[in-house]
Amino acid sequence: MSARVLQVDVSGQPLGLIHWHRAVNMLWQGNATVLYEAEEGSWKSPSWEQKKALIIQTHEYVRLRPLKENVIVRRVLLARDNWQCQYCLCSLTLASSTIDHVKPKIAYIKEGRPASDAHRWDNVVASCGPCNTKKGGRTPHQSGMMPKCTPAMPTYVATRWGGRVNHPIHAEYVAEWYKVDVDLVMRKKNAV
């Protein structure tokens, strides 16, 4: 059983996964209510008992921060790119993946722009080490290696939830809230 509890705000919007200790504290203090309980087990103290919660709801509305174009999170990139190298389509893990800049940083520098301009969602793809090395500092046309999918900014769901959720009830709730496929939010087995 997961040691994490899905926390949602008063509107039902998923906020994050919290440790069960924090969930117990929030419930005991009256700052949250249980939406979904586990089939088995309970949390107990000498004066309090609560069936284990899978999802709790706070009594406040929370506004979440928007996405940033230049903050690349490898786990989210891998979820966006279906945990595959975008050149050879081999399976990737966090440990085996690299981030490839489709238009290389050196091309930005030659244009008189900072290299950091290359590090944007619409210019990066997940790649295996051998493909990234083979492509090197060349463009896809120069290297003859075209990414299988056009890089784009991921959805908020992929950024916030992609690969983080591992309990089926959490995944179903998040997928239903955002009207997406449950596989987008469920942790892949190879996501080590």
Q: Residue 140 forms beta bridges with which residues?
A: none
The radius of gyration computed from the CA coordinates of the chain, to the nearest angstrom, equals 21
Task: Give the domain extent around 134.
Answer: 74-143
The string of pLDDT tens digits covering residues 56-113 is 999 999 887 777 778 888 888 888 888 899 999 999 999 999 999 999 999 999 999 9
Judgement on whether residues 56 and 92 belong to the same structural domain of the protein = no
Q: Is 102 within the bounds of a domain?
A: yes
The CATH number of the domain holding residue 130 is 1.10.30
Q: Is 157 within the bounds of a domain?
A: no
Element (H, E) at 56: strand 48-58
| Low-confidence winner among 29-33, 44-48, 148-152, 159-163 (lowest mean pLDDT) | 159-163
Instruction: Specify the number of domains making up the chain.
Output: 2
The string of pLDDT tens digits covering residues 2-16 is 689 999 999 999 998
Instruction: Kindly indicate the confidence band of residue 192, based on its pLDDT and cuts at 50, 70 and 90.
Output: very low
Q: Is 80 within the bounds of a domain?
A: yes
pLDDT computed for residue 29 by the predictor = 92
The string of pLDDT tens digits covering residues 42-51 is 888 888 888 9
Judgement on whether residues 108 and 55 belong to the same structural domain of the protein = no
Count the residues in the chain.
192
Judgement on whether residues 135 and 107 belong to the same structural domain of the protein = yes
- State the average pLDDT over residues 19-36: 93
Judgement on whether residues 79 and 35 belong to the same structural domain of the protein = no
Q: Is 156 within the bounds of a domain?
A: no
Judgement on whether residues 78 and 134 belong to the same structural domain of the protein = yes
Report the distance separating Cα 51 and Cα 71, nearest Å.
Answer: 39
Judgement on whether residues 46 and 97 belong to the same structural domain of the protein = no
Q: Is 159 within the bounds of a domain?
A: no
What count of other Cβ atoms lies within 10 Å of the Cβ of residue 67?
15
Give the max Cα distance, the chain: 70
With b meaning 16 or more CB within 10 Å and e meaning fewer, what string describes 19-44? ebeebbebbeeeebebbeebeeeebe
Handedness of CA 28, 24, 65, 167 (dihedral sign): negative
Judgement on whether residues 78 and 124 belong to the same structural domain of the protein = yes
Q: Is 150 within the bounds of a domain?
A: no
Judgement on whether residues 60 and 17 belong to the same structural domain of the protein = yes
Report the distance separating Cα 71 and Cα 121, nearest Å.
Answer: 8
| Low-confidence winner among 18-27, 65-74, 167-176 (lowest mean pLDDT) | 65-74
Judgement on whether residues 100 and 133 belong to the same structural domain of the protein = yes
Judgement on whether residues 51 and 105 belong to the same structural domain of the protein = no
Q: Is 59 within the bounds of a domain?
A: yes
Q: Is 155 within the bounds of a domain?
A: no
Report the distance separating Cα 163 and Cα 19, nearest Å.
Answer: 17
Answer yes or no: is pLDDT of 187 > 80.
Answer: no
What mean pLDDT, rounded, does the chain reach? 88
pLDDT computed for residue 55 by the predictor = 96
Answer yes or no: is pLDDT of 159 > 90.
Answer: no
Answer yes or no: is pLDDT of 188 > 90.
Answer: no
In the numeric block, the tokens 């107990």 are attached to: 44
Instruction: Kindly indicate the confidence band of residue 161, based on its pLDDT and cuts at 50, 70 and 90.
Output: confident
Report the distance separating Cα 25 and Cα 51, nearest Å.
Answer: 14
Answer whether 0.75 is exceeded by the pTM. Answer: no
